[in-house]
Structure 1
Amino acid sequence: MRFADPREAEAFLAAHPEVRHIELFLIDPCGVPRGKLLHRDELRAVFEHGRPLPSTILGLTVNGEDVDETGLVWDVGDADCWTFPLPGSLCLQPWRRQPTGQVQVSMHPEHGLPAAVADPRHLLARAIEALQADGLYPVMAVELEFYLLDRERDAHGRPLPARQVNGARPHATQVYGIYELEQLQPFLDDLYAACEAQGLPARTAISEYAPGQLEITLEHRFDALQAMDEGVRYKRLVKGVANAHGLQACFMAKPFGDLAGNGLHLHLSLADAQGRNLFASEDPAGTPLLRQAIGGMMATLADSLALFCPNANSFRRFQANSYAPLARSWGVNNRTVSFRVPGGPAASRHIEHRICGADANPYLAAAAILAGVRRGLREGLDPGAPVVGNGYAQAGEPLPTDWHTALCALEHSAWARETLGGAFLDVYLAIKRAEYRQFMGEVGEQDWRWYLTQA
């Protein structure tokens, strides 16, 4: 694990005398950024000696509540665990009204114990190192969909798409609509400017498959850890810029029952030490190595689903003809399958993993993907023939469509425990089991609408 040089702090403070505060954050197992707001006078010490955070910070539910069963609360006296800044993560938050900095930290592998076992970034680092030991270097990119919403709700409490520049609220899908992007120009201008200020490689923006839904792609990175770092920082940035515009960026997997869900599509190829794409092929279906990688991801999909789809709402996204996959399937230039090999030049051949909702933790999702790929390569797994045509009509064994089944599959997976680590899984499953009990124990509007008078 590599941490930042203290000279980064010196250079930042010298270049930005106007900055009074710096947001320090790490990503917890649920994918939520948590941390503190520091005064500029504290920054040097963080880079030189680290910053302690309580062990409970990596044992919280998505709602920020302690989970005693993680072993990170009373068992260890909510111990201080030392974090250190990540290289290149110190930057400005341009959306703040007052000049503010931002730095991402991660738990130190030794001085961060006992919480270090639950740091999701460590999990991905180990998965990358395992492939590199085999002479393989994962190249990855993040593609996130989100809804841009107003803060106001309709009469029934339902979220509403953000009003456009013309004052109107979008009501039609208008996928790939250019006018729709033009109508969001103030927001998009600030978003791209903030990405440039933070060094995030934001590229193509499109109007997605629902009113108010957007997608902006990030560039492929030879360093998969860097790609996921940029993914989590981009998500933080989108929410910050939206908030500055009086709006809300929503990354729920399925915010609306009758509209498209939000996906996290992860793009993957493998390179050698010189950066040559080992999936490159004039054959649109790629090399045998590519197909074995898909075979491994297919073989481990059920065991990994609780990492790709971490919440109850995640599973509402899996509906036929919705551009969300329903089965273990792959295809070439086909968006109805789980693992898509996009078209394009031979040198760009790669896999698009389409399972995750935008609510997934990119570190955990990428770690599970890479661990599955490694299994496929080591065992020479064959994914079978690619799907041609409508994958929904040809779906074989469907994916589990409920949270509880996915959690049980992860809990009882010998592969996951060996590959991802038992200590991490114990913490993650404790958190998700606690969330499951809370979610199922809550009685709300849907219960009353269905059962209040009919039961």
Structure 2
Amino acid sequence: MSFAPLQEALSFLELNPDIEMFELFILDNNGVPRGKLLHRDELLAVYESGRPLPSTTLGLTINGEDVENSGLVWDVGDIDCRAYPVSGSLQRMPWRQIPTAAVQVSMHPEQGMPASVADPRRLLVKVIDGLKADGYYPVMAAELEFYLLDRQRDSNGRPQPHRDVDGGRPVATQVYGLRELEQIEPFLADLYSACKLQGIPARTAISEYAPGQVEITLEHRADALQAMDEAVRYKRLVKGIAHKHGMIACFMAKPFDDLAGTGMHMHVSLADEQGNNLFASEAADGTPLLRHAVGGMLTTLLDSLLLFCPNANSYRRFQTNSYAPLSATWGVDNRTVSLRVPGGPAYTRHIEHRICGADANPYLAAAAILAGIHLGIRQQLDPGAPVEGNGYSQAAQLLPTDWLTTLRALEASGWARDVFGSKFLQVYLAVKHAEYRQFMGEVGEQDWRWYLHQA
């Protein structure tokens, strides 16, 4: 893995003399950015010799708590592990009051031990390198949905969609509604401006299938790692700009029981070394290579599901006729299946992976998708006939809709252990087991509503 050169920091400092602070962050396995706020004069040292971060940084629960059996706490004395800057990640944060920039770091393979085994970005690099060794260059894009919420809760103390600029609250689903986009124009203007500043290829915006729900597509990248780096920065940027405008950007998979869930659709194809699309075909279902890729993703779907849907809330998204997939299916230009091959000219042929919630870590989701593709190609797996019509009514193999089942599936997967490594799985599964125990042990509103008087 190569890290950013010192010249990148020198050039940035010269071009941005007003920047006072730098936010150094690494993405943990829950997709939570963690790090430090540095003064301007501390930046060059990060590029020259890295920055130490505690080993526990990559073994925390989503609530920021240590997980003792991750192997990253007492066993190693919470040792400092060195992380180095990711090339291209040094960017201004235009929504901050103090002139601030951010730089993403990743663990050094040796100096970052033992935390480097749990670094999700490093895991994706490993999977991509394996594909490239066989002559396949993954092309990817992430398509993230999110809700814009009011900071003020409703009368029951629950989150609620933002009010529009006319003072009203959207109460109906206006999918593809243009007025809804017009109402958030100040937010969108700042968002697109910040994306341009950071080099993030934000394109089409649409009002999604619920009040306050928005989707903005990111253009595909020939470098899958770059695409996921940009997805990570984009998600932080959306949250920051929303905060500036007095809103909360919510990427929960299912924030409301009666409204649409929030997904992260992943678009993927494979190219050769010259950049030619190896899935390209006049046939709507693509080349044999595309079908082997689909076969691999379907075969490894259950083993990977915890990486696509990492939280208890993730599984509330899976409901019939909700545009969230329910089974291991694929189809051509069909939004009722898990793996969709969109229509379009031959050179655009690719697969849209529709399973991930917006709460998934882009690095881990991409790693699982690409590892499944690689298996399908190596073993020339046949995905069977594509589903036609309503995939919800043809679901032969339903996906699990509970957290524990998918946790156990990943734990028992020999394929995942071979691909991701036992040390990574030790950390990841320890964290998820800890979260599961804590989540299931918490008594909340639904318990009282159902059982307080009736049990």
**TM-score, length basis structure 2:** 0.99
Residue identity in the other structure for 2:157 = G
Alignment map for 1:234-313 (pairs within 5 Å)? 234-313=234-313
Corresponding residue for 1:220? 220
Alignment map for 1:117-266 (pairs within 5 Å)? 117-266=117-266
Corresponding residue for 1:108? 108
Distance in 2 separating the partners of 1:133 and 1:415: 19
Query: 3-state DSSP class of the match of 1:152?
Result: coil
Aligned-residue offset at 1:15: 1.1
Corresponding residue for 1:86? 86
Residue identity in the other structure for 1:376 = G
Query: 3-state DSSP class of the match of 1:430?
Result: helix
Aligned-residue offset at 1:34: 0.5
Alignment map for 1:396-415 (pairs within 5 Å)? 396-415=396-415
Query: 3-state DSSP class of the match of 1:131?
Result: helix
Corresponding residue for 2:361? 361
Alignment map for 1:15-30 (pairs within 5 Å)? 15-30=15-30
Query: 3-state DSSP class of the match of 1:162?
Result: coil
Deviation readout 1:153-206 (Å, 9 max, x if unpaired): 111122111111222111111000011000100000000001011110000000
Residue identity in the other structure for 1:365 = A
Residue identity in the other structure for 1:370 = L
Corresponding residue for 1:45? 45
Corresponding residue for 1:351? 351
Distance in 1 separating the partners of 2:125 and 2:165: 43
Residue identity in the other structure for 1:393 = S
Aligned-residue offset at 1:351: 0.1
Distance in 2 separating the partners of 1:216 and 1:263: 12
Corresponding residue for 1:431? 431
Query: 3-state DSSP class of the match of 1:161?
Result: coil
Query: 3-state DSSP class of the match of 1:132?
Result: helix
2:63 maps to 1:58? no
Distance in 1 separating the partners of 2:93 and 2:168: 30
Distance in 2 separating the partners of 1:128 and 1:343: 26
**TM-score, length basis structure 1:** 0.99
Distance in 1 separating the partners of 2:74 and 2:244: 38
Corresponding residue for 2:5? 5
Distance in 2 separating the partners of 1:28 and 1:38: 19
Aligned-residue offset at 1:397: 1.3
Distance in 2 separating the partners of 1:338 and 1:170: 30
Distance in 2 separating the partners of 1:204 and 1:347: 20
Distance in 2 separating the partners of 1:258 and 1:162: 16
Residue identity in the other structure for 1:224 = A
Distance in 2 separating the partners of 1:17 and 1:164: 38
Deviation readout 1:59-81 (Å, 9 max, x if unpaired): 10000000011010111010000
Distance in 2 separating the partners of 1:128 and 1:14: 34
Distance in 2 separating the partners of 1:314 and 1:255: 10
Corresponding residue for 1:338? 338
Distance in 1 separating the partners of 2:359 and 2:118: 18
Distance in 2 separating the partners of 1:415 and 1:273: 27
Deviation readout 1:239-262 (Å, 9 max, x if unpaired): 000011111000000000111000
Question: Any stretches of 5+ residues in structure 1 without a counterpart?
Answer: none
Residue identity in the other structure for 2:381 = L
Query: 3-state DSSP class of the match of 2:225?
Result: helix
Residue identity in the other structure for 2:383 = P
Aligned-residue offset at 1:11: 1.0
Aligned-residue offset at 1:8: 1.0
Residue identity in the other structure for 1:98 = I
Deviation readout 1:124-147 (Å, 9 max, x if unpaired): 001000000100000000000000
Query: 3-state DSSP class of the match of 1:392?
Result: helix
Distance in 2 separating the partners of 1:168 and 1:303: 45
CA RMSD across the alignment: 0.5
Query: 3-state DSSP class of the match of 1:282?
Result: coil
Question: Any stretches of 5+ residues in structure 2 without a counterpart?
Answer: none
Distance in 1 separating the partners of 2:197 and 2:96: 13
Distance in 2 separating the partners of 1:172 and 1:330: 31
2:450 maps to 1:450? yes
Aligned-residue offset at 1:2: 1.0
Distance in 2 separating the partners of 1:137 and 1:311: 30
Distance in 1 separating the partners of 2:451 and 2:237: 41
Residue identity in the other structure for 2:306 = A
Deviation readout 1:206-228 (Å, 9 max, x if unpaired): 00000000000101001000000
Aligned-residue offset at 1:419: 0.8
Distance in 2 separating the partners of 1:396 and 1:320: 14
Residue identity in the other structure for 1:337 = V
Residue identity in the other structure for 1:364 = L
Distance in 2 separating the partners of 1:214 and 1:97: 26
Residue identity in the other structure for 1:173 = T
Residue identity in the other structure for 1:296 = G
